[in-house]
A = this chain, B = another copy of it.
């Protein structure tokens, strides 16, 4: 697979972004930390604050969290918590941005995150947006809108800036532009063979909520240009869609296994994937309503029923002409783990093979998963 300069730049983008954040903080700009796609960036940016994602993908900080949290909860929650409460005494380094946020804005999605946020409040000021769990009723939308309005007030208070309708419209246009760029990038992955690997795309997906919006767009445009100029390949590989839990920065385990075993990932139905950009915000509506409508549609397994996800998986599988789906669940993530039944049934009816992987961030099962992936590749090749 061809190498892309943009991916190399991305790998080295951390330090530059940290300097930018440090400079901004010195000049009084606030930094908000988020964990989840359900928190609308547009409101944070319209208040004049910056934002970084705090979802942890590193295995090192899991053991720190296990001093406070049960062991048998999801590694993402443990890694994130460990990164924030890590005071350095353990000898384990957390990424710098974890300690730089002025406020965490969280949301009620899954049980573990929800309860972890309560403990987090003792370390960093934490504001939680409540989320109705039924995505398709007018009353749920109204409740979510009221929660976003409160959040808007919290951002105004944090920054001392007014969040104006015009400011929101501008940020919506900006975020939609990013989303359109992701759509363009994904469009290129529909070619067969795909001109870019999943491991490469994952790099930019993982950085999307870490970089500033402008820098992200710049990288996306550069990458698209590079990918567009790739000569059509000859060697066809099994086309895989990964569907399920996110892979936050630091965690590339399943992607690496799949692509080192001969497959190529052409789509990720995941929060580090299509869920982050698939739906655009309506630019013609009242901005707060448009935001509520768009964000409540994110097909996270916390929603019930979550038929939108099933439909989306089938749509993606068709559009990206996948040979198979690898359903990826982080250990003890009850939501995606139980929802897997519905995904499996829908894919079976559509004649698309599926392999299910449940894992954590450790290396202990890499070989075992590899063998299962080998068998799956053989079956679908």
Q: Which of A327-377 contact B (CB under 8 A)?
A: 331-332, 334-335, 337-342, 358
Question: Chain B residues with Cβ under 8 A from A116's Cβ?
Answer: 338
Q: Which of B70, B305, B339 is in CB contact (< 8 Å) with A334?
A: B70
Q: Which residues of B contact A70 (CB under 8 A)?
A: 334, 337-338, 340, 358
By the criterion CB–CB under 8 Å, are A332 and B335 in contact?
Answer: no
In the bound complex, do residue B118 and residue A133 qualify as a contact, i.e. CB atoms below 8 Å apart? Answer: no
User: Is A128 at the interface (CB under 8 A from chain B)?
Assistant: yes
Q: What is the minimal beta-carbon distance from A166 to any residue of chain B, in angstroms?
A: 26
The stretch from A14-22, A56-64, A106-114, A263-271 touching chain B is A106-114
Residue from B117, B139, B304 within 8 A of A304 (CB atoms):
B117
* Chain B residues positioned under 8 Å from A110 (CB to CB): 111, 334
Q: Which of B68, B117, B140, B334 contacts A341 (CB 8 A)?
A: B68
Return A248 CB to nearest CB of chain B, in Å: 19
Docked CA distance A301–B115 (Å):
8
Contact residues, A122-173 vs B (CB, 8 A): 128, 130-134, 137, 139-140, 142-143, 146-147, 150
* The residue from B108, B332, B339, B340 contacting A133, defined by CB atoms under 8 A apart: B108
Q: Does A72 contact B (CB under 8 A)?
A: yes
Instruction: Report the minimal beta-carbon distance from A47 to chain B, rounded to whole angstroms.
Output: 21
What copy number does this chain have within its complex? 2
Q: Which residues of chain B come closer than 8 Å to A301, judged between CB atoms?
A: 111, 115
B128 & A338 in contact (Cβ 8 Å cutoff):
no
Interface residue tally on A, bucketed by range: 35 or more
Residue of B nearest to A131 (CB): B133
CB neighbours (8 Å) of A44 from chain B are: none
Complex CA gap A304/B73 in Å reads 18
CB of B130 within 8 A of CB of A130, answer no
Chain B residue numbers with a CB within 8 Å of A119 are 338, 341-342
Q: Does any Cβ of B come within 8 Å of A52's Cβ?
A: no
Does A302 have its Cβ within 8 Å of any Cβ on chain B?
Answer: yes
Are A115 and B335 in touch, CB under 8 angstroms? yes
* Contact partners of A224 in chain B: CB under 8 A: none
**Would you give 10 A-B contacts (Cβ < 8 Å), ordered by A?**
A72-B72, A73-B338, A108-B133, A111-B334, A114-B133, A115-B338, A118-B305, A130-B137, A139-B146, A139-B150
Given contacts A68-B341, A72-B72, A332-B332, 10 further A-B contacts (CB under 8 A): A69-B338, A72-B331, A72-B337, A108-B133, A111-B338, A118-B342, A119-B338, A130-B134, A139-B147, A140-B143
Closest 6 CB pairs of A and B: A115-B338, A143-B143, A111-B334, A130-B134, A108-B133, A139-B146
